[in-house]
Amino acid sequence: MNKMTYKGYTAQMEFDTEDKIIVGRVIDIDDIITFHGASVVEFEKAMQTAIDGYLFACEQLGQSAEKPASGRLMLRIDPAVHAAAAKASARSGQSLNKWAEKALNQAAHAG
């Protein structure tokens, strides 16, 4: 699947064979931003216009625009918790990052 990025937002691109256009949607956010173009150049311009319009509308409404997660997470935790997590990750044979990702994923999806 082809993707294009603008201002930190990534859109997936799909070719609509019936209408003969490239259809796009911003991914990794809950808000829906869609657009299309008859060529890659038109698609890119439409994507930029749609994202700029989304950001402007959020600003006008006094709302924060949703941003995709970067995959980077900086935490400040108790040193004892940090040490225990490092030991647990070593016992599991995983890096601390992979171990923490698994623990956070389990916690996020519990209940």
Supply the pTM of this predicted model: 0.69
Question: pLDDT of 55-74, one tens digit each?
Answer: 999 999 999 999 988 888 88
- Scan for tokens 């647990």, then name that residue: 88
In-domain check, residue 71: no
pLDDT tens digits, 37-52:
999 999 999 999 999 9
Residue 83 and residue 44 in one domain:
no
Asked if residue 56 and residue 6 are part of one domain, the reply reads: yes
Instruction: Please name which of 38, 19, 20, 40 lies closest in space to residue 11, comparing C-alpha atoms.
Output: 40
For 9, the domain range is 2-61
Q: How many domains does the chain have?
A: 2
Cβ neighbours for 59, distance < 8 A, ≥ 6 positions apart:
65
Do 17 and 44 belong together in one domain?
Answer: yes
- The answer as to whether 69 is a domain residue is no
pLDDT tens by residue, 67-100 = 988 888 888 999 999 999 999 999 999 999 899 9
Torsion of CA 53, 20, 10, 101, to 10 degrees: 140
Same domain, 56 and 83: no
Identify the pLDDT of residue 70: 80
